[in-house]
Amino acid sequence: MLQAMIGKNSPFDRLRKRQGLVARVSSGKKTGGKSLTKFEERMLQDILSQEMDFIDSTAFYEKNAEVSIYKTAPEIEKPDVAWYRPLMDDLTAARNVSNRNSGSVLLTGAEERVLFLQYNYARHRIRELQNVIGPAQPTEEQARDLLHWFGIAQAYREQIAETNLALVLAMAKRTRMSEVDFSDLVSEGNMALLRSVDKFDCDRGFKFSTYACRAILKAFSRQGMKLSKYRQRFPTDFDPAMEKSNHLETVRKTNEKEAAEEVKTFVINNRAELTAVEQTVIHHRFGIDAGENAQPLTLEQVGQIIGVTKERVRQIQNKALEKIRNVMLEASGELEQPDKNKSSATDPRRN
**What would the pLDDT profile of 272-284 be if each residue is shown by its tens digit?**
888 888 888 888 8
b/e sequence 94-133, b meaning 16+ C-beta within 10 Å: beebeeeebebeebeeebbbbbbbbbbbbbbbbbebbeee
- C-alpha distances out from residue 254 to 135, 248, 287, Å: 78, 10, 20
Highest-pLDDT range among 14-18, 194-198, 248-252, 334-338: 194-198
What pLDDT was estimated at residue 238? Answer: 61
155-210 pLDDT per residue, tens: 999 999 999 988 888 888 888 776 777 888 888 999 999 999 999 999 998 999 99
Same domain, 251 and 203: no
Q: Examine the pLDDT at 236 and tell me if it is beyond 90.
A: no
Over range 90-102, report the average pLDDT: 51
Give CA–CA dist 15/21, Å, rounded.
Answer: 8
Q: What is the CATH number of the domain that holds 330?
A: 1.10.10.10
Establish if 277 belongs to a structural domain. Answer: yes
Return all residues near 284 (Cβ < 8 A) that are at least 6 apart.
290, 296, 297, 301, 302, 305
Last residue within a domain, chosen from 233, 263, 286: 233
Handedness of CA 22, 20, 191, 87 (dihedral sign): negative
Residue ranges making up the domain that contains 78:
3-233
Report which of 143, 119, 116, 140 is spatially closest to residue 129, judged by C-alpha positions. 143
The band of 258, judged by pLDDT with boundaries at 50, 70 and 90, is confident
29-79 pLDDT per residue, tens: 343 446 788 898 899 999 999 999 999 999 999 999 999 999 888 888 888
Establish if 21 belongs to a structural domain. Answer: yes
Same domain, 268 and 119: no
Q: What are phi and psi of 74, to 5 degrees?
A: -70, 150
Establish if 350 belongs to a structural domain. Answer: no
Give the chain's domain count. Answer: 2
Last residue within a domain, chosen from 210, 233, 256: 233
Distance of CA 313 to the CA centre of its chain: 58
Handedness of CA 149, 155, 160, 165 (dihedral sign): positive
What pLDDT was estimated at residue 48? Answer: 92
Same domain, 195 and 152: yes
Highest-pLDDT range among 126-130, 307-311, 317-321: 126-130
Over range 83-88, report the average pLDDT: 66
Q: Examine the pLDDT at 350 and tell me if it is beyond 80.
A: no
Same domain, 288 and 212: no
Same domain, 133 and 167: yes
Report which of 248, 246, 247, 285 is spatially closest to residue 263, judged by C-alpha positions. 285
Return all residues near 9 (Cβ < 8 A) that are at least 6 apart.
82, 85
What pLDDT was estimated at residue 26? Answer: 36
Return all residues near 202 (Cβ < 8 A) that are at least 6 apart.
55, 57, 112, 113, 116, 117, 208
More reliable by pLDDT, 262 or 200: 200
Over range 93-103, report the average pLDDT: 51
- Tell me the angle at which helices 140-163 and 182-199 cross, rounded to the nearest 10 degrees: 130
- Tell me the angle at which helices 140-163 and 109-133 cross, rounded to the nearest 10 degrees: 150
Same domain, 213 and 122: yes
Highest-pLDDT range among 201-215, 227-241, 321-335: 201-215
What pLDDT was estimated at residue 226? Answer: 83
Same domain, 262 and 284: yes
Average pLDDT, the chain: 79
Query: Could you give the percent of the chain with pLDDT greater than 90?
Result: 29
Establish if 348 belongs to a structural domain. Answer: no
Give CA–CA dist 186/36, Å, rounded.
Answer: 38
Same domain, 224 and 251: no
Q: Other CB atoms closer than 10 Å to residue 222's CB: what's the count?
A: 12
Same domain, 65 and 176: yes
Last residue within a domain, chosen from 204, 233, 262: 233
Same domain, 153 and 221: yes
Establish if 194 belongs to a structural domain. Answer: yes
Q: What are phi and psi of 18, to 5 degrees?
A: -65, -40
Give CA–CA dist 160/95, Å, rounded.
Answer: 23
Q: Are 217 and 191 in contact (CB under 8 A)?
A: no
Same domain, 253 and 219: no
What pLDDT was estimated at residue 27? Answer: 34
Q: What are phi and psi of 169, to 5 degrees?
A: -65, -40
Over range 93-101, report the average pLDDT: 50
Establish if 304 belongs to a structural domain. Answer: yes
The band of 262, judged by pLDDT with boundaries at 50, 70 and 90, is confident
Q: Quote the pTM value.
A: 0.55
Q: Are 163 and 104 in contact (CB under 8 A)?
A: yes
The band of 334, judged by pLDDT with boundaries at 50, 70 and 90, is low
10-19 pLDDT per residue, tens: 555 554 544 4
Establish if 241 belongs to a structural domain. Answer: no
Establish if 342 belongs to a structural domain. Answer: no
Same domain, 74 and 169: yes
Q: Examine the pLDDT at 154 and tell me if it is beyond 90.
A: yes
